[in-house]
Chain A
């Protein structure tokens, strides 16, 4: 069964760092496009970052660019979101998801249940 499981969330002070992991089973993350999205409390989902399957290159939302790093851990078949210089407004449930090309558009066919990040002093 294909599955994504996030971990690593928690309570952190502003300016701190957290590393979120998303472990995949049933498929290889290195063969898929993967994204992170987040849902702040009471707000809608928003895109955070994307990783391309083959190249491993990444793109980030402006709100996290320069602070977050998205990378792969192929031996663990996981993707990682390293979050530095965290701000209160980064508080959210973070989901990883697999992007699929349903010509001619993208959609997200597999999601994790998410991990809660709370940035507060």
Chain B
């Protein structure tokens, strides 16, 4: 099954900007939409971005997403220590029963 590839880890200082990539193939990302989730181990994952670049209500505009071709990017600006978490991307087709794929996740460290 095709997968989404993320860097295992990224880091940046408080106040800085960080980007997390999510690379796929034409069979998953190219014609589908990417969601991004924030996950603190032991807690429930939280939806940050859907539809490549849309934020659910309550998600700060420090979090933004984009997609180009077979790659998607999550950008976090004005990093805060509370942003230190695991971030993963996912894509699902219009058919919920077909299933989808998730990225392996990226650990963000705020130095």
List A residues at the B interface (Cβ < 8 Å). Answer: 4, 33, 35, 37, 43-47, 50, 52, 59, 61, 95, 97, 99, 102, 104-114
Contacts and interface: CB of A to CB of B under 8 A. Distances in A.
Contacts of B100: 47, 106
A50 B96 contact: yes
A4 B47 CA distance: 14
Contacts of B88: 44-45
Of A4, A45, A99, A111, chain B has the most CB atoms within 10 Å of the CB of: A45
Nearest to A99: B96
A35 B32 CA distance: 19
Given A102-B51, A106-B96, A45 B90 contact: yes
Given A44-B3, A45-B88, A95 B45 contact: yes
**Main SS class of interface, A:** strand
B102 A59 contact: no
Interface residues of B, number: 30
Interface string B80-92: 0000000010111
Contacts of A37: 102
B27 interface: no
Contacts of B37: 108, 111
B51 A44 contact: no
Given A50-B96, A102-B51, A106-B92, A112 B35 contact: no
B46 interface: yes
B92 A107 contact: yes
